[in-house]
């Protein structure tokens, strides 16, 4: 049996029940205190012309407010503290961060979003950063290393054991978005030639098990993974049973270079709590737990939502210049596509001048085509994320979406045609409206499949700017289709 010690960080004492509403209420209280402090300080400066008296009063009030803030934030779970810090402007965030107890520093830095962590680290001095990092495990330090000053990382490495230093260097060597970047090294491993009673005695020597320990890993003397021993089996089997007789040899293992998104899909498919990570020689080097997988799923979901609008994650209180750099590029693309759609419409100026009602109806054609395409695109991007769409079934998928869209469009176009007939009093206008809606919905559905697939084909994120590209196509082609049909059949 491996006698490798499990180095566990001291658990954070939770002084109150975990409830998201606690964080919301605490945030409102902090905002009220900060606002009150700002108002009182302004009044003090007005009331007392004597700078010494004004500074004395401001100092007394500031200490009172700081004590109130400390009492609120330090009674919360680190995740709730992180939520509060993310919800405050940068200067208030840093002011509150200075009042957070040092015992929470490490946990909060790990919980807070990347864009908020940068401002927190900037407000900390060298000693505080080193002290916070010293309470982290090797895989946690690796997560923060890109944001920490190099001299802090170097000093923290000096305080690690040789094994921890090797783990840190290994974790830092894996690219972001891989299993190796999210795996941890805290796990229990045993030999296959001992009894379950020996395993139980070994576990009792530990202060506590690593988080999310649902199975123990069985390895040989070269650390090659032989099987897994679920805790549920360990507890109910006879103590005299050998590990080799109780362990499971049918298990899922991950490679450190596997995509973390693929790992998340495997956890979802097989309802896993943890999974071993093995190298190319089959040696056990780490594990991935459901905690990291949930983070991956959440981050991928957020990135996908932002990417569809051509955005990157940013601090909601970031300077205007930063926000402009993030949003302007795709807005400029959107402006160009809108200008193209307007140019298409202008080519039919004569038609619109003859039948004015077309100017009011063509936005309906473009809008419903875009909505139909977005529905299809959302489904395709989700299917791509979980690996259900391949080159072999793309044709079948396009045909299915065309059929579904045609049927939905047929029903919707009847309603739209009735609307057009009621406003124009012309059956011909209603029929043109009906044909244009069906045609543009089919265009939207087709592009909703092809745009993400083509971006994947060229190695791009299928969600980045996809809605902008789709809107451009459905607007331009929708105007062309509707006004073109009107020119042919109504003039």
- Contact (Cβ atoms closer than 8 angstroms) between residue 182 and residue 264: no
Residue 306 or residue 282, greater confidence? 282
Tens-digit pLDDT profile for residues 225-238: 999 999 999 999 99
Q: Which of 25-29, 287-291, 299-303 has the lowest mean pLDDT?
A: 299-303
Quickly list H helices, 315-393.
320-346, 349-354, 357-385
Read off the tokens for 142: 């690796």
- Whether 189-308 shares its CATH topology with 320-490 is answered no
Rounded-to-integer distance, Cα 235 and Cα 367, Å: 60
* Beta-strand relationship, 189-190 and 215-219: parallel
Q: Per CATH, is 20-124 categorized as 3.40.190?
A: no
Please state which of the ranges 248-252, 309-313, 324-328, 359-363 shows the lowest mean pLDDT: 309-313
| C-alpha atoms less than 13 angstroms from C-alpha of 443 in its C-beta half-sphere | 26
Lowest mean pLDDT of 4-13, 190-199, 394-403, name the range: 4-13
Closest to 253 measured CA to CA, from 280, 232, 291: 280
Looking at residues 49-67, what average pLDDT do you find? 59
- Average pLDDT on 52-56 reads 49
Q: Does domain 320-490 have CATH number 1.10.357.20?
A: yes
**CA angle (33 as vertex; 32, 39 as ends), nearest 5:** 90
Residue 171, φ and ψ in degrees, nearest 5: -65, -40
- Give the residue extent of every domain in the chain: 20-124, 189-308, 320-490
Supply the pLDDT for residue 469: 80
| Tokens 């040696």, located at residue | 283
Interstrand relation of 284-289 and 225-230 (parallel, antiparallel or unpaired)? unpaired
Q: Could you name the CATH architecture of 189-308?
A: Roll (3.10)
pLDDT at position 389 over 90 = no
């Amino acid at each position: 049996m491996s006698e490798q010690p499990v180095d566990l960080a001291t658990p954070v004492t939770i002084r109150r029940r975990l409830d998201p509403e606690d964080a919301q209420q605490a945030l409102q209280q902090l905002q009220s205190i900060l606002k009150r402090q700002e108002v009182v300080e302004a009044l003090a400066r007005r009331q007392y012309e004597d700078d010494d008296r004004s500074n004395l009063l401001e100092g007394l009030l500031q200490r009172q407010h700081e004590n109130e803030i400390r009492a609120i934030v330090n009674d919360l779970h680190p995740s709730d503290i992180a939520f509060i810090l993310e919800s405050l402007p940068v200067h208030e965030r840093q002011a509150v961060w200075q009042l957070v107890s040092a015992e929470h520093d490490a946990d909060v830095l790990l919980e807070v979003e990347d864009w908020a962590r940068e401002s927190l680290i900037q407000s900390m001095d060298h000693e505080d950063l080193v002290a916070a990092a010293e309470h982290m495990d090797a895989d946690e330090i690796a997560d923060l290393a890109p944001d920490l000053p190099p001299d802090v990382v170097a000093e923290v490495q000096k305080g690690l054991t040789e094994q921890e230093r090797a783990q840190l260097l290994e974790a830092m060597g894996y690219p972001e978005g891989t299993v190796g970047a999210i795996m941890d090294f805290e796990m229990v491993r045993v030999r296959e030639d001992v009894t379950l009673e020996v395993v139980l005695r070994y576990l009792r020597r530990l202060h506590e098990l690593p988080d999310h320990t649902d199975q123990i890993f069985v390895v040989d003397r070269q650390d090659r993974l032989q099987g897994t021993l679920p805790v549920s089996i360990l507890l109910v089997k006879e103590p005299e049973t050998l590990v080799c007789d109780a362990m499971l040899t049918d298990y899922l293992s991950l490679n450190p270079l596997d995509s973390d998104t693929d790992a998340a899909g495997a956890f979802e498919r097989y309802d896993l709590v943890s999974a071993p990570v093995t190298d190319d020689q089959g040696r056990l080097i780490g594990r991935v737990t459901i905690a990291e997988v949930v983070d991956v799923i959440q981050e991928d979901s957020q990135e996908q939502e932002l990417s569809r609008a051509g955005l990157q994650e940013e601090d909601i209180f970031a300077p205007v210049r930063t926000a402009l750099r993030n949003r302007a590029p795709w807005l400029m693309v959107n402006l160009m596509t809108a200008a193209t759609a307007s140019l298409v419409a202008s080519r039919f100026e004569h038609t619109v001048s003859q039948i004015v009602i077309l100017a009011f109806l063509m936005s309906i054609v473009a809008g419903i085509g875009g909505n139909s395409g977005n529905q299809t695109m959302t489904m395709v991007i989700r299917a791509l994320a979980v690996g259900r769409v391949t080159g072999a079934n793309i044709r079948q998928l396009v045909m299915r979406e065309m059929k579904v869209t045609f049927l939905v469009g047929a029903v919707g176009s009847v309603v739209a045609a009735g609307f057009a007939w009621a406003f124009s009093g012309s059956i011909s206008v209603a029929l043109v409206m009906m044909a244009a809606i069906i045609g543009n919905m089919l265009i939207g559905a087709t592009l909703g499949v092809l745009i993400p697939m083509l971006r994947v084909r060229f190695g791009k994120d299928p969600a980045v700017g996809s809605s902008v590209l789709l809107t451009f196509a459905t607007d331009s082609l929708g105007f062309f289709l509707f006004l073109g049909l009107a020119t042919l059949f109504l003039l």
